[in-house]
Structure 1
Amino acid sequence: MSPTSPFLSVTVEEACRDLFENRNRPRTLIRALARRSPDERRGIKASYRAVYGEELVEGLRRVKEANPESEQVWSGLWLWMMEPPERDAAVARDAVGRGGGDDYNALVEIYVLRKSSHLFSSKQAYLMRFGRHLDSDLLSADAERQGSKILAALAASHRSHHDHEVSRHIGNCDAKRLHEALKKRSEGRMEESSTVIVEIFSKRSIPQLRLAFSSYRHIYGHDFIEALETVNGEFEESLRVVIQCMCTPYTYYSEMIHLSLTADATKKTVLTRVMIGSAEAGMEKVKAAYERRYNLKLEDAICERVSDDEIYRDFLLDLSNGHG
């Protein structure tokens, strides 16, 4: 288990000095930064800029690019120290560029778990950094994928609604329409069914969609996501990812962490992203979900599965025990 960081008890000014003097030593930076709260990280970045005349995040990016042999550690520190909208922009750009299954999940996390104001800031950060519109890149990257239809609907939902506008009546109506859409799928009327589901997703805010799925469970006695399991296809799998992320985010993150830990080394990028996402969403709840599902503490799983890279392991452990 990673020891308690001595940096947590020092002043921001002292922490900045130590960061500057040890800026090429990842283990020292992990101890100084990985357990910091968002406000503490902002304070450190502001003080670092004032004292040394440079951006800490930009310095981490340069070190990351200069040390490809330690890519995961430096990339993790770089993402961790970004403001959330900037991080979303960087993650989204990589995701639309690659277009794989893990990248779809990354985009789902951004479009589902962010409030409208946060998502707007993430899109602005994307535009400022890359000179492109995230929604447009999202749709043009792989327009034929079934998941793209759902993401496009979520993008429209965020544009058109405020997070607090929810209606029990609309939730009940949508639940019944979702039930009818599933009947159409069982009858082989896939396109007709998908059109109804995508339409609902495009017209409702995320909280309203959560209410619809809650109403579905109340009316029909089981979860919509369970009913989806009767039909297997790309659309259904893409929809399951969205609904799980939307309705049970802590379970979603616990499963993503487990899949990343038990996969090969190529999944470390995913592991870094979902560990940072867990810290932002609520690490204690993610850890509790992980232990319930896998009967193992997350910290023990990290020690067991990330034994070949002690520095990266310590970064993950500090994330799992930090303030988030």
Structure 2
Amino acid sequence: MATITNPGSCESECKEIHESLENLTHLAPALAIKTQIEKRQIREKYMEMYGEDLISCLQKRTTQLAKSGGDGLGVSSGAAGAALALWMLDPIERDAVVAREALDQKSETNYRAVVEMFAGRKSSHVVRIKQVYQAKFGRVIDQDVLCIEPPHDPYKKILVALVASHKAHHADLSQHIAKCDARRLYQTGEGRSGAIDEAVVIELLSKRSIPQLNLTFSTYKHIYGHDYTKSLKKENYGEFEDALDVVVKCISNPPKYYAQTLYGSIKGITKDKGGLARVMVSRAEIDMDEIQRVYKNKYGTDLIEAICESIPSGHYRDFLVALARKTSSTASSFSSLSTSS
């Protein structure tokens, strides 16, 4: 599949994709190396040629493959199809879709997926995500966060605060405010006995921008000699501190946070359903190289090796490996649907 420069030049690619929907062997790794622009052009041309949205076609095929399993690869193909559908979405639309699935009250709320959106996206992006969320699902994401059950869940408290932080006026970063906030976190946390003062944390999360919070956490480490998350490991701390630990890591050290999320998903030691595909897809064009370096340093093995050791052979594993190998310099270097992973 050649590099695409305009929608009119990818008829052959769309034809190959259409024919490959019955067998994802070559389709998954070939699409994995496409850039955002190329994926958008393919989706537009596919609609023009076949009158169907490629995402919808992939989702339908995913359901069929997951149910069949006739060739012994149904589960793998179904997972690959679902990951492919997510991958082909525009990043803003993808976040909206992930958020809706995470907040669906028919199932347990996937807090990590929502945290990643509010703690790891620019406010301008969050505004656009909210717009797409409402247009696509007819719902208001802020209201869906407020409706999370149970009402006193610590993750809900933090998410409500993060929603507010994106609505607040964001001034330039202030080192003075960061120092004051860092000292306040210390005085109401490890600087006293007992659990941390939740009200203080919620207040800061709701009033400060994500960049300002990041500066506060780095200032905390500078002043007290260790990460703020280290202060959340006391034995007498509870669920609120555990939830806060996840949020702080996502804000202050994204590569480390995503490496840990991938490890938990690969090893099956987390409740974060879909975490592996979500992280691989969302970070492939952002910081996957750095995530892989952190993963290797922290767990002593390459991410690709870990995926191959833990995920059964099949289309899904091929797709994940292709995403792991994707870098800015190789994003458009493959030239055929038949390229293997």
**Unpaired segments ≥5 residues, structure 1:** 1-6
* Counterpart Cα distance in 2 of 1:268 and 1:309: 20
**2:301 is aligned with 1:296:** yes
Out of 11, 14, 20, the position equivalent to 1:13 is 11
Q: Which residue does the alignment assign to 1:85?
A: 92
Report what 1:241 is aligned to: 246
Give the counterpart of 1:252 among 218, 238, 257. 257
Partner of 1:53: 51
Please list, as runs of the form range in 1=range in 2, the aligned pairs for 1:170-319 lying within 5 A after superposition: 170-183=177-190, 186-188=192-194, 190=196, 193-230=197-234, 231-263=236-268, 269-306=274-311, 308-319=312-323
Deviation at 1:145, TM superposition (A): 0.3
Q: CA deviation at 1:139?
A: 1.7
Greater helix fraction, Structure 1 or Structure 2: 1
Letter in 1 for 2:184: R
Cα distance in 2, alignment partners of residues 189 and 295 from structure 1: 34
Describe the shift of the 1:303–1:237 C-alpha distance in structure 2 as closer, same or farther (beyond 3 A): same
Shift of residue 119, structure 1, vs aligned partner: 1.0
Task: Tell me the matched-pair count.
Answer: 312
Tell me the TM-score normalized by structure 2. 0.85
The reply on whether 1:153 has 2:161 as its aligned counterpart is: yes
* Structure-2 change in CA distance of 1:160 and 1:319 (3 Å): same
Pair 8,320 (structure 1): closer, same or farther in 2 beyond 3 Å? farther
Structure 2 counterpart of 1:135 = 142
Q: Secondary structure at the residue paired with 2:172?
A: coil
Deviation at 1:266, TM superposition (A): 8.2
Structure 2 gaps, min length 5: 68-74, 332-341
Offset at residue 74 of structure 1 (A): 1.2
Q: How far is the alpha carbon of 1:265 from its aligned partner?
A: 11
Superposed CA RMSD in Å reads 2.2
Separation in structure 2 between the aligned mates of residue 242 and residue 281 of structure 1, nearest angstrom: 19
Contact 2:190/2:231 (8 A) holds in 1? no
CA distance in 2, matches of 1:234, 1:206: 22
Q: 1:25 to 1:241 in 2, by over 3 A?
A: same
CA distance in 2, matches of 1:314, 1:229: 38
TM-score normalized by the length of structure 1: 0.89
Contact 2:164 2:207 in 1 (8 A): yes
Q: Percent identity?
A: 38
Deviation string for 1:265-303 (max 9, x for gaps)? Answer: 986622111211231431111111111111111111111
Deviations 1:161-206 (A, max 9, x none): 34x721111111111111111057x43365xx10011000000000
